[in-house]
Amino acid sequence: MCTVTYLPKNHHSFIVTHNRDEHHSRGVAHLPIRKTFPNAICLAPIDSNAGGTWIATSEQFTLCLLNGGFVKHKQNPPYRHSRGHIIFDFFSYKGVEHFVKDYSFDGIEPFTLILIQHDGRVVNELVFDGQQIHHVLIPQDIPHIWSSSTLYTEADRLKRKTYFEKFFQKGILTQEEIISFHQNKYDLYDGEGIQINRNEILKTVSLTSISKSEVISMYYEDFLHSQKMSIEL
């Protein structure tokens, strides 16, 4: 359950920032590490419960995962494995087309995967609704925001979209500014703010921001333990 923003920059550069919202009972995630696969080396924080991740970046791709598809679904466990394994599984494939065609999505809970190919800055949105995978391209030169359908109603998502549009109309934005946007706490009165806390039961536990330019870097902030770190690929 989370919120993701995509902010295009000059010369095929971009910034992707992700707020992770979790139930208080979920274990504390491990700080980002370099993880090696046959086809790639990536940076990713690690979910301590299932060993997967919700965000990762390599030399060629950046991926972000949100729980849920187009609408909130009714859970029907058991599932084949955690959705967090999908990102790491992707790095065993040659590219997006091979992944969409050959990966087995059967038995996985619905999800939305944002998959950015660095070469050409191609922004793919993959939505699995529990039955089939839907693959569309998102305009690469327009900022975008996604919010999990499992946590946010359609009205909530529209409010966040409006809030985000008002924010990026300021002009050229830095990574520090988009991080600050994601750190803003939700205000029940005006519906603005990204960081949530629902009675200490479900809250935003961390923020991850990836900057892709000449150098690829990841900023990570653990809100629960006041930990911050930056790491380059």
| More confident: 159 or 63 | 63
pLDDT given at position 208: 98
Residue 28 has pLDDT above 90, yes or no: no
Across the range 160-165, mean pLDDT stands at: 92
Domain definitions of the chain by residue range: 2-232
Across the range 160-178, mean pLDDT stands at: 89
Task: Give the integer Cα–Cα distance in Å for 173 and 156.
Answer: 24
pLDDT given at position 187: 64
Q: What is the CATH number of domain 2-232?
A: 3.60.60.10
Judge contact between 228 and 221, C-beta under 8 A: yes
Judge contact between 12 and 211, C-beta under 8 A: no
| More confident: 156 or 61 | 61
Residue 189 has pLDDT above 60, yes or no: no
Largest Cα span, the chain: 49
| More confident: 225 or 116 | 116
Binned at pLDDT 50, 70 and 90, residue 190 comes out as: low
Matching residue, tokens 């919202």: 21
Instruction: Sort strands 202-212 and 197-198 into parallel, antiparallel or unpaired.
Output: antiparallel
